[in-house]
């Protein structure tokens, strides 16, 4: 129970009635934004480690296109793109929804291209990006979820 007053009278209201309503699917929108920010952070760290020729990576790993240094720069750029997508989703609106779906689709392609080097990590990223696409496609079009 919470006590509320306007200066002239005091009223006791249950806390459940005082909180903002939660909308079905609001958690999916939050999940999509958080996953983009986590992925962006990890991609930037991964990219910096790859560009700096760190010993963090498996030796003699094969990639579909180019080498580890090139994929490092791709990861840094893609991390920036994912951060923009997260901010756009949290800002709300149709652009954030469609931009997030587009970036998650690109993330799936990028993850699939690194399967020869890191198969389990790549498949994990594909699964997370599929969930992000689902959340944005199913619930991202409701403007009341992004207020």
Query: What integer pLDDT is reported at residue 143 of this predicted model?
Result: 54
Q: Residue 5 gets which letter from DSSP?
A: E
Instruction: Collapse the DSSP code of 13 into the 3-class scheme (helix H, G, I; strand E, B; otherwise coil) and give the result.
Output: strand
Q: What is the mean pLDDT of residues 30-46?
A: 90
Percent of the chain with pLDDT over 90: 31
CA-based R_g, the chain, Å: 21
Is the pLDDT reported for residue 121 higher than 70?
yes
Torsion of CA 60, 61, 64, 66, to 10 degrees: -50
Q: What is the mean pLDDT of residues 17-35?
A: 74
pLDDT in tens, 40-84: 998 898 888 888 876 776 666 666 677 777 888 888 999 999 999
Residue 53 phi, psi (nearest 5): 55, 45
């Amino acid at each position: 129970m919470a006590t509320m007053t306007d200066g002239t009278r005091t009223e006791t209201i249950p806390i459940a009635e005082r909180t903002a309503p939660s909308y079905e699917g609001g958690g999916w929108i939050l999940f999509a934004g958080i996953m983009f920010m986590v992925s962006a952070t990890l991609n930037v760290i991964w990219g910096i480690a790859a560009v700096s020729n760190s010993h963090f990576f498996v030796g003699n790993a094969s990639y579909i296109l180019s080498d580890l240094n090139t994929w490092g720069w791709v990861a840094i750029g893609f991390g920036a793109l994912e951060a923009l997508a997260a901010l756009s989703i949290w800002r709300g609106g149709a652009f954030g929804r469609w931009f997030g779906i587009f970036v998650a689709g690109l993330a799936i392609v990028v993850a699939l291209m690194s399967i020869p080097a890191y198969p389990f990590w790549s498949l994990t990223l594909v699964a997370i990006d599929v969930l992000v696409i689902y959340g944005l496609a199913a619930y991202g079009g409701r403007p009341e979820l992004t207020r």
